[in-house]
Structures are given as C-alpha cells and as structure tokens.
C-alpha cells in the first residue's frame, strides 16, 4: 500500500509488516472496481457490505438529511471508505 514506504524508517517496519499481512489475509475478499467521477458506490438506504480502498483520486462519504447531502468523510489515496456500522450490524 502506497502510504507506507521503505524510506519511512525502521520505526514503521512493524506497521509495514502488518499492512503486508493484512493485504494477504484480505486478498480473497478484495476486488478491483473503477469508479467514474460523480458515480455512487451505493444508493440511499442500501445496505453497504463493503469497504473501499482508494488507490487513486478521492472518495466522499455522505449522508442525506432532509434532502441535503451532509459530508461524513473524505478518503484520499490510501484511505478507506465504507459504512462499518452497516457491515457489522447489517
């Protein structure tokens, strides 16, 4: 994953190992998906059972409250976005 680099120094070696182990463990659950600018990953009210890793670009997570979009999170490259509560609680 791009946000941890060998040039980050020895203090991050355990973190690099953890990230590499996580990539191997989650590989069977991961699929790639290209998303065009402005496209939605889920519709309002839809159960979201996935987490998305941003390989490039930016993803915005938001809720619709009284018909208005309210930003919840911005995920930059290397960031993760998804509705964890929806995954855990269904």
Please return the burial class of 77, using the count of CB atoms within 10 Å of its CB with bins 0-12, 13-18 and 19+: middle
Residues 6+ apart with CB under 8 A from 62: 69, 70, 71, 72
**How high is the pLDDT of residue 70?**
93
Do 61 and 86 meet the contact criterion of CB atoms below 8 Å apart? no
**How high is the pLDDT of residue 49?**
75
- Beta strand 80-82 pairing with 51-53: antiparallel
Residue 52: beta bridge partners?
Answer: 81
0.85 exceeded by the pTM? no
The pLDDT of 54-75, averaged and rounded, is 88
Given the structure tokens 């941890």, which residue do they identify? 4
**How high is the pLDDT of residue 88?**
67
Q: What is the DSSP string of 61-88?
A: EEEEETTEEEEEEEE-TT-EEE-HHHHH
Summarised one tens digit per residue, pLDDT across range 1-57 is 444 455 556 676 777 777 778 778 877 766 778 888 888 887 777 777 777 888 888
């Amino acid at each position: 994953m791009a946000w941890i680099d060998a040039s980050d120094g020895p203090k991050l070696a355990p973190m690099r190992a953890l990230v590499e182990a996580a990539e191997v463990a989650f590989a069977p659950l991961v699929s790639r998906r290209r998303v065009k600018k402005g496209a939605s990953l889920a519709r309002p009210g839809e159960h979201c059972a996935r987490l998305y890793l941003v390989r490039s670009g930016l993803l915005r997570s938001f809720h619709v409250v009284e018909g208005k979009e309210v930003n919840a999170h911005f995920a930059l490259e290397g960031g993760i976005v998804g509705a964890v509560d929806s995954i855990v609680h269904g």
